[in-house]
Amino acid sequence: FQWIEVSSYEQMSEIAATIFAEQLLSKPDSVLGLATGGSPLGFYKELVRRHQEEEFSFARATTFNLDEYVGIGPGDATSYHEFMNENLFRHIDLPETRRHLPNGLATDLDAECSRYEKLIGESGGIDLQLLGIGVNGHIGFNEPGTPFDSRTHVIELTEATRQSNARFFDREQDIPKKALTMGIGTIMAARKIVLLAFGDNKMDAVERLENGAVTEEFPASILHKHPHVTVIYGK
Ligand code: F6R
């Protein structure tokens, strides 16, 4: 574990952008694992800025996002597809055919999960995975209790998670009830992991990640078993 304490959100974003830029410079055809949410917003902004200064290219890269809601997809403002288009994909030279998110509109969701998992394998596996962390220790949409060996699967969103995501939806009934997420086993198979946690409300989770037991009740704790994790955190 490498722990990097930062004094600002901008500093966290810059350090993360440097790690990803170095990854792309040393291996232009890297497979990158990406996340949505508030934690990586500044990171994407910084990555786009540096890319536009031609520091590095995404032309040969491949990306896989952690998760997507069931029932919404490309074109829906609240989908993770759209989040990625808006904050990253629209601004970089990554070919559309190599931007991957689980398809929450698939008619057979289990088949979609297998397809996604297989695609990650066929791409050579994830070189560098970006993560945020939930206040309950979730990574991806893997809530407490998710088996450590899980692969991409369908999950029912807990009421707490639905409420914390409610701000993005106009109407209560629009908040999805399910999502597709890489499993904890999928995440652990990534060669390197960078986890971002910023703000007062994340500090309990960071403390538990640092000092707590490895238990399925706190999904991120499994990262102690991973050989190459960098946690960038601060408040
Ligand atoms: C996002 C994801 C989630 C978030 C986590 C933290 O794709 O899978 O695990 O990383 O919920 O979210 P923020 O960054 O919004 O605090």
ipTM for this model: 0.99
Query: Does residue 65 have an active-site annotation?
Result: no
- Domain 2-234, CATH: 3.40.50.1360
Quote the tokens at residue 148. 């450590």
Residue 158: its pLDDT value, please?
86
Residue-range domain boundaries for the chain: 2-234
Quote the tokens at residue 214. 């490895």
Cα(233) to ligand 1 centroid in Å equals: 14
pLDDT in tens, the chain (235 residues): 999 999 999 999 999 999 999 999 999 999 999 999 999 999 999 999 999 998 899 999 999 999 999 999 999 999 999 999 999 999 999 999 999 999 999 999 999 999 999 999 999 999 999 999 999 999 999 999 999 999 999 999 988 888 888 998 999 999 999 999 999 999 999 999 999 999 999 999 999 999 999 999 999 999 999 999 999 999 9
Query: Does residue 112 have an active-site annotation?
Result: no
User: How far separated are the first and last CA of the chain, in Å rounded?
Assistant: 20
**Catalytic-role residue among 67, 112, 117, 127:** 67
CA 224/CA 213 separation, integer angstroms:
9
Q: Over the Cα atoms of the chain, what is R_g?
A: 17
CA 102/CA 117 separation, integer angstroms:
9
CA 193/CA 128 separation, integer angstroms:
6
**Percent helix, percent strand, percent coil in the chain, to nearest 5:** 40, 20, 40
As for ligand 1, residues whose beta carbon falls within 6 Å of it are 35-39, 66-67, 132-134, 138-141
Helix/strand/coil for 156? strand
Q: How many CB atoms lie within 10 A of CB 76?
A: 15
CA 125/CA 6 separation, integer angstroms:
30
